[in-house]
Structures are given as structure tokens and as C-alpha cells.
Amino acid sequence: MKNQKYIYWASTGLLTVLMLFSVGMYILNHAEVSELFTKLGYPSYIVYPLAAAKLLGLLAIWTKQSKTLIEWAYAGFFFDTVLAFFAHVMIGDGEFPPALLAMVLVLVSYIYYKKLH
């Protein structure tokens, strides 16, 4: 049980750092991120809403106010990372490892969240 808590907190902490880094990039380097989104085949107008969604997802996970919101947050993070992974793979830019890492962190955090709650 103790090891499960460590795994949960480590994966959730690393996921949080990764998502906050991503939000920071979306806000502070909006022009570059918008250009990247366009190259990946996504509209650039989703950059700010996606940043807000990531912050709200982290808030839901960390505050634990609603199990439903937590489930939605994990689902959102999962779809975000899967789409990012495949977008990078499809254009062949070699930039898929961070998305793959994020996907693994989402899955590990979620699996251990379910085991502990």
C-alpha cells in the first residue's frame, strides 16, 4: 500500500510538472506553439482553451472535490496525450517522446488513483 502511494504521488507530480510546463509554453510562447499546432494539423485557436483545460484538470485531480471531475480530467489528459503522440508520429518530426512520457504518466497516475480510492 505504501509503495502504491509513492507511485501515485510520483507519477501525479511528474504529470503535473509536465502539464504546467506545457501550459507555460502555450501562454509564454503562443506564436511558436500556434505554428506547431498548425503543422500538426490542429487549429491554432485551441491553444489557450487547451491551456485552461489543462489547468482545470490539474485542479480537479489535486483538490479531489469530485470523483466525476477527476475522471473527466484523466480522460482529457489521456486524449490530449494520445492525440499529441499520434500527431507527432504522423508528421514524422521525431518529437513524440514527451507525449509518450505524458501518456504513460497519465495511465500510471490514473491506475494508482483507482487502486487507492
Give the whole-angstrom CA distance, residue 113 versus residue 110: 5
Residue 1: per-residue pLDDT: 82
Nearest to 114 by CA among 106, 99, 55, 39: 106
* Structural contact between residues 102 and 81, judged by C-beta atoms closer than 8 angstroms: yes
DSSP for residue 21: H
Give the pLDDT score at 25: 97
Helix (H, G, I), strand (E, B) or coil at 50: helix
One pLDDT digit (tens) per residue for the chain, 117 residues? 889 999 999 999 999 999 999 999 999 999 999 999 999 999 999 999 999 999 999 999 999 999 999 999 999 999 999 999 999 999 999 999 999 999 999 999 999 999 998
**Boundaries of every domain in the chain:** 2-116
How far is it between the farthest Cα atoms of the chain? 45
C-alpha cell recorded at residue 104: 504513460
pLDDT of residue 80: 97
